[in-house]
Amino acid sequence: MNKILLLGAGRSATVLIDYLLSNATIHNWQLAIGDVSVEHLTQKLALYSQARAFVFDVQNEEQRRTEIGQAHVVISMLPALFHPLVAQTCLELGQHLVTASYVPSQIKEMHEEAKAKRLTFLMECGLDPGIDHMSAMRIIHQIQGQGGNITSFKSFTGGLMAPESENNPWHYKFTWNPRNVILAGQGTAKYKQDGAYKYIPYPQLFRRTETFLVEGFGYFDGYANRDSLGYVEPYGLQNIQTMLRGTLRRPGYCQAWHVLVQLGLTDDSYSLEDSAHMTYWELVESCLPTAPKQGMSLKEQVAAYVGLNPEAEEMQLIEWTGLFEEVPIGLDKATPAQALEKLLVPKWKLSPGDKDMIVMLHQFEYELNGAQKKLTSSLVVLGDDEVHTAMAKTVGLPVGIAVKHLLLGRLQTKGVVVPLQAELYQPILEELEQNGIRFVEKGE
C-alpha cells in the first residue's frame, strides 16, 4: 500500500488535502498529515480510515526520520526554509519529494545523488512557480515545434480578490503567507528588454509598472519579479530579446506600496527600539528625516517627503491602514516589516464569504514563416469561499496531481526536476483543465 506524507496543512493546503483524500480512497493509499497544529483536520479526517493527522516538529530529527521513512512520497508544504532539511532526509531514506516552492541551491546540489537513487524531487509545481512554467512551456514547445522563433515572453501572476470581494481601497487581501507579501520584491529585479539587460533596485521597483487589460476582469498593474533571467536557459530561450516575469496587482496598489518602501516600513533588517510601546504614528514619524513640523499633520509631512499631494490616492490608501494613528505596535524587538505585517493582517484578512482570484497572463511575440505574430494566454480562477480559495486550488491541485502520477508510475524523470518537460506538464495541465483551470488563448 502506497503511503503519502504531507508536511504542512495551512491555508494553501486545503484543496490539496481534499484531493489526496479522494484519491487515497480510490487507489487504496494511506495519508499522514503533519503540522504544528492539526486540530482543524479532526472532523474532516474522521470520515477516512486511511488518513491520520499528527503534530509535527520538523526540527525533531527522530520524528522527521520516522515519518519520512514510512512514506513512499513526501509532500512539503512547510515554509521554504525547511525544504532542504526535508529533502536531505528524503535523500538519505530513499523517498520521493514534491513541493510547490522554488529550488534552493542546497536541493539543487542533491540532483546527481537523487538521480542515482532513482528518486524524483519534483519542485516548483504549484501556481507560481508551477502552473506558470507548465503553461508557458506547452506554448513554447508548440511554437518551436512549428519552426517558430520566440523573440519576446512576458509572464505575470497575481493572487487577488474576486471583483465582488474587493471591498477595501487597496483591492487586496492576504490569500497566502502575509510575511511573503510584505517582503515581496526585495533585492534587485533582473530581466531582458529588447536585447538589453535591465535592472530595477528595490526602492524603484513599485514605480516601474506596466498596465494590462484582462477581458472581463479589468485592468492590472504588473511589476518585475526578482530574477527573470534565470529562466532563459531552462525555458530554451537563449536567443530571446525580451524576457520578463512579474506579479500583478490592481491599479493603485503598487503606487501606494511604493510610499511604504520609501518610508522604510518594509525593512526587515533591523529591530526597532522599544517597539512594544511604540505607536504606529511614532514609527512613521521616526522614519521621516526631520522633527515634526508645527501646523502639519503626519499625513501632510509624509506626503511632502514622498512628493505627493496629501489628498493623492496613494496617501488615502496609506491613511486607511492606520499608520497615522496612535495605536501601539505591541511587538517586542519588531522590525519595521513585522510591525507593518501586524497592522495589515487584520485589515487584509479574508472575511466569511470572501472569494479570491488568481490571474495569470502570458504574452508571446514570435516569428513564423517570415511573419511577426503575437499570442496572449490568460487564466482566471475564482475561489469558492474563504477556505477553498483560488490560491489553494492553483497551488494544491498541481502538487496533488503530480503525486498521483508519481505513485502510478507515470512520471519517470529522476533527480531534482522542475515541470518543464512534456512528460511532467502535460498530464498535470490536462487534469487541471478537467477541474476548470483552463487558459484562454488569443492570437494576432
SS3 annotation, 366-435: EEECCEEEEEEEEEEEECCCCCCCHHHHHHHHHHHHHHHHHHCCCCCCCEEECCCCHHHHHHHHHHHHHC
Report pLDDT for 294. 73
Q: What pLDDT digit, counting tens, does each position of 278-291 carry?
A: 999 999 999 998 76
Mean pLDDT estimate for the chain = 95
Domains in the chain with CATH codes: 3-129+389-437 (3.40.50.720), 131-254+351-382 (3.30.360.10), 271-334 (no CATH)
Does residue 257 carry a pLDDT above 90? yes
Contact in structure between 123 and 417 (CB atoms under 8 Å)? yes
Give start and end residues of each alpha helix (H) in 30-188. Answer: 42-45, 61-69, 83-93, 105-108, 111-116, 131-145, 178-182
Mean pLDDT over residues 238-260, rounded? Answer: 97
Q: What percent of the chain has pLDDT over 90?
A: 91
Q: Say if residue 292's pLDDT is above 80.
A: no
356 phi-psi bin (left φ>0, alpha ψ -120 to 50, beta other): beta
Q: Which residue has the cell 512576458?
A: 154
- Position 96 scores a pLDDT of 97
DSSP secondary structure code for residue 328 in this structure: B
C-alpha cell at 94: 530513499
pLDDT of 17 = 95
Read off the pLDDT of residues 381-417 as tens digits, 9 standing for 90 and up.
999 988 889 999 999 999 999 999 999 999 889 999 9
Compute the distance between CA of residue 67 and CA of residue 65 in angstroms, rounded to an integer.
Answer: 6
Dist CA 258 CA 307 (whole Å): 12
What would the pLDDT profile of 318-376 be if each residue is shown by its tens digit? 999 999 999 999 999 999 999 999 999 999 999 999 999 999 999 999 999 999 999 99
The answer, yes or no, to whether the previous bond of 129 is cis (omega within 30 of 0) is yes
Q: Yes or no: say if 156 and 212 are a contact pair by the CB < 8 Å rule.
A: yes
pLDDT at 293 over 80: no
How far out from the chain centre does Cα 132 lie? 11
* CA gap 402, 23 in Å, rounded: 12
271 CB-contact burial (10 Å; exposed 0-12 / middle 13-18 / buried 19+)? middle
Write the pLDDT tens digit of every residue in 310-321: 999 999 999 999
SS3 248: strand
Angle at 99 between CA 20 and CA 45, to 5 degrees: 25
Q: Which of 129, 107, 128 is nearest to 119 (CA)?
A: 107
